[in-house]
Structure 1
Amino acid sequence: MSNKKKTFEENLQDLEGIVSQLENGEVPLEEAIAQFQKGMVLSKDLQKTLESAEKTLVKVMQDDGSEAEMDAL
C-alpha cells in the first residue's frame, strides 16, 4: 500500500462512498460505526483543504510581490 497522500477529489469520492453505504443501511453496526468515524476524519480533512484554498484565493499579489487581502485593496 502506498503512503501517497490522496487528492481532495479522491477523499471526496471516499466520503461519498461511505455516505452511500451508511444510507443503504445494509452495513453491520460495528462496520457502520467505523465507517462513520472514517467519514468524519475525511470530512474534517476536506474542510481544512477548502479553508486553505479559500485563504489562498482571497490573497492577491501587489506590484512589489507582497500579498494583501482583497478587502485591503
Structure 2
Amino acid sequence: MSDRPVEEMSFEEAIRELEQVVGQLERGDVALDQSIALYQRGDALKKRCEKQLAEAEEKVARITQGPDGQAQGTAPLDG
C-alpha cells in the first residue's frame, strides 16, 4: 500500500493500487486493524477512479466536419 495521497494519483496508479488492496483483502491474511485500513484506502481509491472516469466522460466530444469533409472542431457528445 502506497503512502501517496489518493488525490494525486492518476487513474492508472489508483486502479493498480486498488487491485492490490482487493487482493490483500481477498487473501484474508491481514489483521483486523490492517483490513479496516485497507478497506478505507480501497474505498478512497475507488472514489478517485470513479471521479476521474466521470471527468473523462464529460470531455468526450465528437468531431464536427466542415462542408469539405475536413475536421472543423468538436462539439459535446450530447449536443
Shorter chain as normaliser: what TM range? Answer: 0.7 to 0.9
Q: Distance in 2 between matches of 1:39 and 1:2?
A: 13
Tell which structure's C-alpha radius of gyration is larger. Answer: 2
Normalised TM-score (structure 2): 0.71
Aligned length: 68
- Determine which structure has the larger helix proportion and give its number: 1
Normalised TM-score (structure 1): 0.76
- The residue correspondences of 1:1-73 to structure 2 (distance < 5 A) are 5-57=8-60, 59-60=61-62, 63=72, 68-72=75-79
Identity %, equivalent residues = 37
Q: What displacement does 1:70 show?
A: 2.3
- Determine which structure has the larger strand proportion and give its number: 2
Q: What are structure 1's unaligned runs of at least 5 residues? A: none
Q: What are structure 2's unaligned runs of at least 5 residues? A: 65-71
